[in-house]
Amino acid sequence: MDLADLEDVTSLADQLGYPSSTEEIRTRFMRIQRTQNYGLFVAKSNGGKVIGYVQINCEPETLLAGPRADVAALIVDANERGKGIGAALLRQAEHWAEQNKLPLIRIRSNIKRTDAHRFYQNKGYVINKSSHILTKSIA
């Protein structure tokens, strides 16, 4: 992923349910793309349009768990699904985790995304826990 991809990435993030402006995405991209803890990969059409992307992060060790990789986002344009693009992006994320010596990949997926759950399970992932995410604005 590079700066020229961010307008298309913004549109895909909106499809995933995370609306942001291109400037907000650009600001975040500029912060995280400089570190080794993030992998950002895109799939492009023959015309150069970004039609999918994956973000994978290195999650640090805690008292309860060792270091692991976390797929923060994987999205393929709704018009391009079923063509193997998501599988290719997931393989790239897995390769990144392997290169970074992370022994486990975690994917969090909204309970209503049953198609995504089937996709991941078909790729060898298992559901091992369901939980709630609680948030509170403090700013």
Using DSSP bridges, classify how beta strands 38-44 and 50-59 pair: parallel, antiparallel or unpaired: antiparallel
Alpha carbon distance 36, 18 (integer Å): 24
| Assigned token pair, 2 | 């590079």
| Assigned token pair, 128 | 């091992």
Give 76's pLDDT tier (boundaries 50, 70, 90): very high
DSSP bridge partners of 41? 54
Q: Which residues contact residue 77 at a Cβ distance below 8 angstroms, ignoring those fewer than 6 apart?
A: 12, 15, 51, 52
Mean pLDDT of the region 58-79:
95
pLDDT of 139 reads: 86
- For each of the domains in the chain, give its residue range(s) and CATH number, in order of start: 3-122 (3.40.630.30)
Supply the DSSP symbol for 3.
Answer: G
Is the alpha carbon torsion for 109, 123, 74, 78 positive or negative?
negative
Model pTM? 0.92
Q: What percentage of the chain has pLDDT greater than the value 70?
A: 100
| Assigned token pair, 139 | 């700013």
Which helix (H) or strand (E) segment holds residue 58: the answer is strand 50-59
pLDDT of 34 reads: 87
